[in-house]
Structure 1
Amino acid sequence: MPVYSMTGYATVQGGASKSEADTPVAPVGLPSVGLELRSVNSRFLDLSFKLSDELRNAEPALREKIMSRVKRGKVELRAWIEGRADGGVQAPSPADLQRLVAVQDNIRAWLPNAAPLSVAEVLQTKARQPLATTGLADSLVALIDTALDAFIASREREGARLATSLLDRVAQLRALAQQAQPLVPRLVEQQRQRFIERWNEALGAVEGSAPSDMARDRALTEATAFAIRIDVAEELTRLASHLDEIESLLAKGRDLGKRLDFLIQELHREANTLGSKSSSLELTRISVDMKVLIEQMREQVQNIE
């Protein structure tokens, strides 16, 4: 299944997506419905509606349809009514003109000095007349399915980009873990030799001290304790396990954002422990590089549904 981002956008009008159709399907001269869906990341599903008063009764049906197909994200739906799909000027009908003339004559009978109506004023009067909006709420509900198809497709495209980026960083983390793997045995052996050299120097400076075999055993004990303190094999094993799980979740897709967020926290914990146990500049550098990659993954995971 695909991976979905919580970032998406779609706009439709008259039953056809503006990005997929050149002309609306609403008849010329009749009011049409426009709809816009946009979303950003959120811990839960947070819906908000910006509807004109004529479309307000469609909100429950719109909410139900969105909740059936979207699981997470701050989703905003905006819908509006457009008077003419072709954007032209509506000419008043002869009946409208007759009514305006009758009203004007009645007013000028009482106010002889009143100025006659101009063409612009007649057109403005026509523009202020209410649109016939009967049935537009039902049209909006029918339109939401088309909008959701385009909206979810945009979230899927963004999710695919996020998944590719996450897999790239998973590969980089594995490469860093492979660099860290041989460093610990090398450091342990170096420290063991250092302990033995220090004990031998101390024995040579002090006469009548303990036998050299006992000193060597003590040095080996100290070296063993040091090896335990800096051993990061367990951290590297857990880190590899978390990376395997991330790859598995990305392959399965769908609702995985919260589980990925938990795994990112675990990755960060292992990288922190690796840094705290570091006894060399090279291992410290690897830990820092890991934290940078993990932080980049955290930002991307926060946008996955």
Structure 2
Amino acid sequence: MIASMTGYARAQGSDERRRWVWEARSVNGRNLEIRCRVPQGFDRLENPARAAIGTRMKRGNVSLTLTIASEQQSKPLRINRALLAELAGLVEEVRKGTGAAAPTADGLLRVRGVIEEEDGAEENEEAMAALDRALSGTLDEVLKALVAARAAEGRALSAVIDRHIGEIEELCKRAADRASAQIGTVRARFESQLAELLERAPSLSEERFAQEVALLVGKADVREELDRLAAHIAQAHTLLADARPDNPVGRKFDFLCQEFNREANTLCSKSADIELTRIGIDLKGAIERLREQVQNVE
């Protein structure tokens, strides 16, 4: 089953001091591009996160975000006594020099930096290692969920692609039926012109004119293009059946759509019949609809 490059997943976790959320989003892209955002002080998680994504996905633009919030509602306050003493010295110096009144205690406490929040006890290495393991476990959850979301999208996408391939196949059958009639139409048209010219110019070489008719009829023969289109259709069915997580087929499908379009263009340019031209235009539309869906296949 093919996988889509579109998906979203979210996983969260917590411990006694904090709670965290991993969010992962992916959209289509030519290659695998990863954007990872983690809070300051957790940069050590970025490279392992990128490696974990690389083992699970081959293509797409993937954005991974980690948000961490403290479980504590408020932290205890403390006075920065060193700063307060420095301010008091400066105030006394200014008061003596200018005769200004001394500031009140609450005025000094309003100065930024005098009152600070306590960070609490620093976590030891063992506690940090336990936190990293917990964060990595939640990361594994969110990446599994993202892969599952892409697979679910891929199942829906597979049905759509199969329907478009069936539409192309049906149009090719109609084109083949019409092309058989086109050869007779072209031959009859030029034989009629040949007879008319021979009546007007009896000395004109019938053999020479017959060669020109055969050349024009050959140019109007689209059987080669239809054969290649049939081969492309068979290849599309094979790609759809062979798609696996370890065998992404998006690039191959993209190239195949280019080949589909090339043959459809040639068929339209060689067509000498209005109905066959209409079928060719419909065929190009079906190929474009297939190409739009294929752009999201991993």
TM-score > 0.5, shorter chain as reference: yes
Residue 114 of structure 1 and its aligned partner are, at CA, apart by: 2.1
Q: 1:176 aligns with which of 171, 179, 182?
A: 171
Q: Answer yes or no: is 1:58 the counterpart of 2:45.
A: yes
Instruction: Show the 5 A alignment for 1:249-260.
Output: 249-254=239-244, 255-260=248-253
CA contact (8 A) 2:6 2:153 kept: yes
1:114 corresponds to which residue? 106
CA contact (8 A) 1:36 1:147 kept: yes
Cα distance change on mapping 1:131 and 1:243 into 2, 3 Å: farther
- Following the alignment from structure 2 to structure 1, what is the Cα–Cα distance between the partners of residues 122 and 67? 14
- Following the alignment from structure 1 to structure 2, what is the Cα–Cα distance between the partners of residues 179 and 80? 57
- Following the alignment from structure 2 to structure 1, what is the Cα–Cα distance between the partners of residues 263 and 212? 26
| CA deviation string 1:107-160 (max 9, x = no partner) | 99x85462799xxxxxx976x857977443332212111111110011011111
- Following the alignment from structure 2 to structure 1, what is the Cα–Cα distance between the partners of residues 23 and 120? 23
- Following the alignment from structure 2 to structure 1, what is the Cα–Cα distance between the partners of residues 104 and 262? 87
1:155 corresponds to which residue? 150
Cα distance change on mapping 1:279 and 1:132 into 2, 3 Å: farther
TM-score by length of 2: 0.79
CA contact (8 A) 1:261 1:301 kept: yes
Residue 210 of structure 1 and its aligned partner are, at CA, apart by: 4.4
Letter in 2 for 1:237: D
Q: Answer yes or no: is 1:7 the counterpart of 2:9.
A: no
- Following the alignment from structure 1 to structure 2, what is the Cα–Cα distance between the partners of residues 203 and 260? 53
Q: 1:248 aligns with which of 215, 238, 247?
A: 238
- Following the alignment from structure 1 to structure 2, what is the Cα–Cα distance between the partners of residues 47 and 198? 66
1:39 corresponds to which residue? 26
Q: Answer yes or no: is 1:188 the counterpart of 2:168.
A: no
Q: Answer yes or no: is 1:262 the counterpart of 2:255.
A: yes
CA contact (8 A) 1:43 1:73 kept: yes
Cα distance change on mapping 1:46 and 1:131 into 2, 3 Å: farther
Cα distance change on mapping 1:170 and 1:247 into 2, 3 Å: same
SS across alignment from 1:114:
helix
Unaligned runs of 5+ in 2: 89-101, 110-114
SS across alignment from 2:20:
strand
1:287 corresponds to which residue? 280
- Following the alignment from structure 1 to structure 2, what is the Cα–Cα distance between the partners of residues 272 and 33? 54
Residue 42 of structure 1 and its aligned partner are, at CA, apart by: 1.4
Residue 168 of structure 1 and its aligned partner are, at CA, apart by: 0.5
Q: Answer yes or no: is 1:49 the counterpart of 2:44.
A: no
Residue 201 of structure 1 and its aligned partner are, at CA, apart by: 2.7
Residue 55 of structure 1 and its aligned partner are, at CA, apart by: 1.8
Residue 164 of structure 1 and its aligned partner are, at CA, apart by: 1.1
TM-score by length of 1: 0.78
Q: Answer yes or no: is 1:90 the counterpart of 2:77.
A: no
Unaligned runs of 5+ in 1: 15-25, 118-123
1:121 corresponds to which residue? none
CA contact (8 A) 2:186 2:272 kept: no
1:18 corresponds to which residue? none
Q: Answer yes or no: is 1:137 the counterpart of 2:129.
A: no
Q: Answer yes or no: is 1:30 the counterpart of 2:17.
A: yes
The total of aligned residue pairs comes to 272
SS across alignment from 1:52:
coil
- Following the alignment from structure 1 to structure 2, what is the Cα–Cα distance between the partners of residues 47 and 67? 9
SS across alignment from 1:42:
coil
Q: Answer yes or no: is 1:72 the counterpart of 2:70.
A: no
- Following the alignment from structure 1 to structure 2, what is the Cα–Cα distance between the partners of residues 203 and 238? 39
Q: RMSD of the TM alignment (CA)?
A: 3.2
Letter in 2 for 1:273: T
Cα distance change on mapping 1:203 and 1:90 into 2, 3 Å: closer
Letter in 2 for 1:31: R
SS across alignment from 1:34:
strand
- Following the alignment from structure 1 to structure 2, what is the Cα–Cα distance between the partners of residues 205 and 243? 49
Of 217-226 and 29-38, deviating more is: 217-226
